[in-house]
Amino acid sequence: MSAKAIREATGKRILNQHLTGTAAEPCRFAAVSESTDWGELVAENPWLRSEKLVVKPDQLIKRRGKLGLIAVNADLSAVRSWVGERMGRDQTVGRATGKLRNFIIEPFVTHKQDEEAYVCIYSHRYADTILFHHEGGVDIGDVDAKATKVDVAVGASITAAEIEEKLLKKLPQLKKKMVATFIEKLYQVYVDLYFTYLEINPLVVTSKSIYILDLAAKIDATADFICRQKWGEIEYPPPFGRDAFPEEAYIADLDAKSGASLKLTILNKSGRIWTMVAGGGASVIYSDTICDLGGAPELANYGEYSGAPTEQQTYEYAKTILSLMTQEKHPKGKVLIIGGGIANFTNVAATFKGIVTALQEFQPKLVEHNISIFVRRAGPNYQEGLRIMREVGQNLGIPLHVFGPETHMTAIVGMALGKKPIPSVTAMEFSTANFLLPGGQNKESPLQSRKSSTSTLAPTTTSRETSGQASGQSGDAPQRKGVLFNKSTKAIVWGLQTRAVQSMLDFDFVCCRTEPSVVAMVYPFTGDHKQKFYWGHKEILIPVYKKMEDAMTKHQNADVLVNFASLRSAYESTVDTMNYPQIRTIAIIAEGIPENLTRKLILMAQEKGVTIIGPATVGGVKPGCFKIGNTGGMMDNILHSKLYRPGSVAYVSRSGGMSNELNNIVSKATNGVLEGVAIGGDRYPGTNFMDHIMRYQADPEVKMIVLLGEVGGVEEYDVCNALSDGRITKPLVAWCIGTCAGMFTSEVQFGHAGSCANSDRETAVAKNKALAEAGAHVPSSFDSLGDLVAEVYESLVQEGVILPAPEVPPPTVPMDYSWARELGLIRKPASFMTSICDERGQELNYAGMPISDVLKQNLGIGGVISLLWFQRCLPPYVCKFFEMCLMVTADHGPAVSGAHNTIVCARAGKDLVSSLVSGLLTIGDRFGGALDGAARQFSEAYDSGLIPMEFVNAMRKKGQLIMGIGHRVKSINNPDMRVKIIKEFVLEHFPSTPLLRYALEVEKITTSKKPNLILNVDGIIANVSFVSILNLSEKRNLEHKTSEHKKLFYNTQDFLMLPIKMEIIQRVKWYRLLASRFK
């Protein structure tokens, strides 16, 4: 949602900070909630004791004075008593009943009735309207009829002189200049701080000052990245009658941190009907259907997830829904509807895996609360997703019914509510992913058999030329006026969206285009290069440019820009694009662009004759010619919906997800889609319904039109007017979703930013009625939309307006390797495998233990080493030993070769990596490298049965040093405390230490010859104690293992390399710092 209401206290705080240079007195107020400490409140606002006060609820309640929800001219004790009587109590406002929990206290402003005025500013598509009336207060009445209005065009400004002339004619002359200046500054704040609505009633205007008494405001929440510093922290309260739940706040926080869309509104926590729907438009339609079937009183929530959320995100979302469902039992049990349309790019299987994990986690509670689940979904990898759902359903112990695109989108609602029978067997689809399965092309579908009288099947083979002729489109044909796309359309894509570009190229290929539609990509964060893509079976290169100018200059035949820029940069990149006259159409995919910026784009586009599709859209499709980005979904849906060749039906929709569902409905009910556009779900789409419907009206190839509108806005009334005055003559099937809105007791903001009715005229019910009265074909519900489309189509066929052509099978498109592997159709040996670490699931695992458990159990560094090296949790004494080793070897001093070389390299001005490598390259037998040798020498001697004296003599005869023996400084008379500490710890805690005792006997022999030939720290840690751990960790002794296993277990160098590397990095940083200071 973009426009969000804020508390009166929040609005007045913002105006206090930014409304300057006027006669307005600063707003003094104190906010009171259930947790308010009155002593602290009075201390912070001492005027509460000394002045008369006004108190009222601050919970988005309209007409508080009429409802008696205001106390005036009261002292502090009376205010406390008044608040205490109402705090936490139920209050009914209209049909909504809620608890009063927030109040605002202000000084009472003594004034006369004729000093009250009214001012309001609100935004619409092309301008901001300022309303002013010289009378205000609770009895103002119909302000729209009484107030004087002035429109300020988007991007323009208004002066105090203009305000005085146009708005303040009935205001006393002495006050005009003061009020005009106030409104001028107020409007500047309104624009600069991205308000969408601001009403002050009454505005008290005395001879010298202005007082803002009651204030109601909405701001554009999508402008948070622009205005956060100016706004400060803002809490968006729920509509009155609906409490704010922590679960809603949790999902809102997930949504804010994700590129996906996650929404949750709790309507009735005790309800038995819960939904988990994918898609903003689909979520509204499911709510409509539930209400149509009488389920409104039991509907527990509204929500949606869309935009390709990750497995972890859908798990968190599903877990939240299930936790709410299982808090209260219902005597009839509960139902969970997991629904959605046909996804464009969301991996259905990936999202379902998150949902399945949550279902398995809640399995006992699902059984306890008698919950039934109904699933309907389609889109990329939906077959695997449905398979996963069916599989888990067999183990949950509850009814779980799963359906795909062969079932109407909302049919599961009737099944869940007991209004429709649940079929035992459903039809199977013939395709998967990017190609038709064997036999899928030849089998006659139910649609074709139903239309056998008017359509015949073509042969199963065809050439690319034949397909091109069948489409009725020539690659070089001139573009008709009003037609956005044809077979020659060329596009530039802003953003490195390789998956979307490949989807466009696959669509081009299956439509038998001779050349790819994408000629270049623009991505400012990399240098100019070429990106590899597939064109059918072949690979091609598409250039990627850093600058828009280069792309436009080198590809002047491109006339479409598909803009995948983020909401923060979409405005700038679109403005940049409109500087090039060759671009005639721009599709803006991003959702959440601030409304002020979108309105500026609309005006700029109109001036330059550019068509904008979006923002917040998946795009559009011209079957047989061109598609925008991910429109139409994966190739299986494109084939099923017959988008590879043109039909006779054109549609326009707000919802991108529902455009795919419309493709499916139209393809089953008619000969297919000729063109389809999703204008976008934001409040101000770049083009509106009429822009596209009038194009369709002018296109002779379009025989009938389908409109899918929704609650909010008034654009559908323009269609009604065009039907009434004869500008639209072609059959129009129309339906507005959101009919359920009137059945809720409190206001609900649906998935799209524009899906909220601000008046009765904006409701879906009123629009559907007006459309029907104007002559449109309006179904009784979305459920019957397909039937009505088929009925109108058949009448056109009977009249000879439409002549169905023989079906032409498309060429097959190879499946990408990555997608085939995702579907489990192929397998390939992994290039790398690990048995100790796995980060492919919901969280990182060390040897099968989730990282959260590693931290909760406080395993420490030693425990982590035991998991990663030994693939299990070792006893605490072993983990303690690991940590002791790291502590006593954390610093070897500056004299050893590795540290010395690192210092020299760092002082020479080399970078961190070069200095580190310099130190590592000098590791050898005298520094670090003795670890392997000592472990091998001692173990082989012990395993072969040599007594310590024989081992020492054998090494002397070979002329080899005994690794792990000897120290430059320490001796038998000056022992190394590190060795002593570790030796005592090992002897005390290790259950068996034969190799350590063997090494100590060797030390007795060597120190008898020379006192400094002691067992050093390398020997005690790596060569003796660590080998003992390896022996203890195995079920069999080392003598039963092969030499290869011995080499593996003796290789302890990596263990001590960790502190050595840490030490070297530390010294690089330290000596580079010294070097910089001594320059």
Q: Is the pLDDT of residue 442 over 50?
A: no
Residues 435 and 815: their CA atoms lie apart, in Å, by 6
Token pair for residue 145?
């009829």
SS3 category, 173: helix
Span 35-41, average pLDDT: 94
Banded model confidence at residue 374, pLDDT cuts 50, 70, 90: very high
Average pLDDT, the chain: 85
Region for residue 319 given its phi and psi (left: phi exceeds 0; alpha: psi -120 to 50; beta: otherwise):
alpha
Across residues 1036-1045, what is the average pLDDT?
40
Map residue 34 onto helix, strand or coil.
Answer: coil
**pLDDT bucket at 460, cuts 50 / 70 / 90:** very low
Q: How many CB atoms lie within 10 A of CB 888?
A: 18
Phi and psi at residue 579, to the nearest 5°: -80, -5
Mean per-residue pLDDT, 202-216: 94
Residue 66's pLDDT band, with cuts at 50, 70 and 90, is confident
The catalytically annotated residue of 133, 752, 892, 967 is 752
pLDDT value of position 317: 93
Is residue 445's pLDDT more than 80? no
Is pLDDT larger for residue 437 or for residue 822? Answer: 822
Tell me the per-residue pLDDT of 916-942, one tens digit each, with 9 for 90 and over: 888 888 776 666 557 777 888 888 888
pLDDT per residue over 375-422, tens digit each? 999 888 888 889 999 999 888 999 999 999 888 899 999 999 999 998
Nearest residue to 896 (alpha-carbon basis) of 930, 861, 866: 930
Segment 180-206 mean pLDDT = 96
Q: Is the pLDDT of residue 1062 over 90?
A: no
pLDDT at 44: 94
Which band of pLDDT confidence, cut at 50, 70 and 90, is reported for residue 473? very low
**Mean pLDDT of the region 345-366:** 91
pLDDT of the residue at 449: 36
List the single range of 339-353, 471-485, 614-628 with lowest mean pLDDT.
471-485
CA angle 593, 598, 599 (to 5 degrees): 150
pLDDT given for residue 662 in this prediction: 93
Convert the pLDDT of each residue in 535-589 to its tens digit. Answer: 988 999 999 999 999 999 999 999 999 999 999 999 999 999 999 999 999 999 9
Q: Quick check: 898 pLDDT over 90?
A: no
- What is the model's pLDDT at position 1051? 44
Which pLDDT tens digit goes with each residue over 339-349? 998 888 888 88
Q: What gap in Å lies between CA 130 and CA 187, rounded to an integer? A: 8
pLDDT category at 752 given cuts 50, 70, 90 is very low
E strand residue ranges, 711-846 = 732-737, 837-838, 845-846
pLDDT of residue 834: 78
Say what the pLDDT of residue 996 is: 87
| pLDDT tens-place string over residues 152-169 | 999 999 999 999 999 999
Residue 18 annotated among the catalytic residues of the structure:
no
Supply the pLDDT for residue 693. Answer: 97
Cα–Cα dist 905/917, whole Å: 10
Q: Does residue 895 or residue 186 have the better pLDDT?
A: 186
Residues 800-821 have a mean pLDDT of 83
What pLDDT band is residue 172 in, cutting at 50, 70 and 90? Answer: very high
Percent of the chain with pLDDT over 90: 52
pLDDT score recorded for residue 406: 86
Confidence (pLDDT) at 143: 85
For residue 568, report the phi and psi dihedrals to the nearest 5 degrees: -80, -30
Q: Is the pLDDT of residue 1041 over 60?
A: no
Does the pLDDT at position 454 exceed 50? no
Handedness of CA 929, 934, 937, 939 (dihedral sign): negative
Predicted confidence at residue 478, as pLDDT, reads 45
CA separation (Å) from 707 to 481, 653, 690?
A: 21, 6, 10
> Mean per-residue pLDDT for 1043-1051?
41
Q: Which of 906, 860, 914 is nearest to 883 (CA)?
A: 860
pLDDT tens, position by position, 578-620 = 999 999 999 999 988 999 999 999 999 999 999 999 999 999 9
Task: Record the pTM.
Answer: 0.79
What single string gives the DSSP state of each residue in 563-579?
A: E---TTTHHHHHHHHTT
Structure tokens at 177: 């200049």
Q: Which residue has the higher pLDDT, 300 or 280?
A: 300
The pLDDT, as a whole number, for residue 836 is: 81
pLDDT at 1: 53
Q: What is the mean pLDDT of residues 108-130?
A: 94
Q: Which amino acid is at 276?
A: M
What 8-state DSSP symbol labels residue 74? E
Checking if the pLDDT of 995 tops 90, the result is no
pLDDT value at residue 475: 41
Gap between the Cα atoms of 83 and 85, Å rounded: 5
Q: Shortest CA distance to 9 belongs to which of 45, 40, 43?
A: 45
Instruction: Read off the pLDDT of residues 868-896 as tens digits, 9 standing for 90 and up.
Output: 888 888 888 888 988 888 888 777 666 67
Q: Going by DSSP bridges, is the β-strand pair 103-107/116-123 parallel, antiparallel, or unpaired?
A: unpaired
- 211-228 pLDDT, tens per residue? 999 999 999 999 999 999
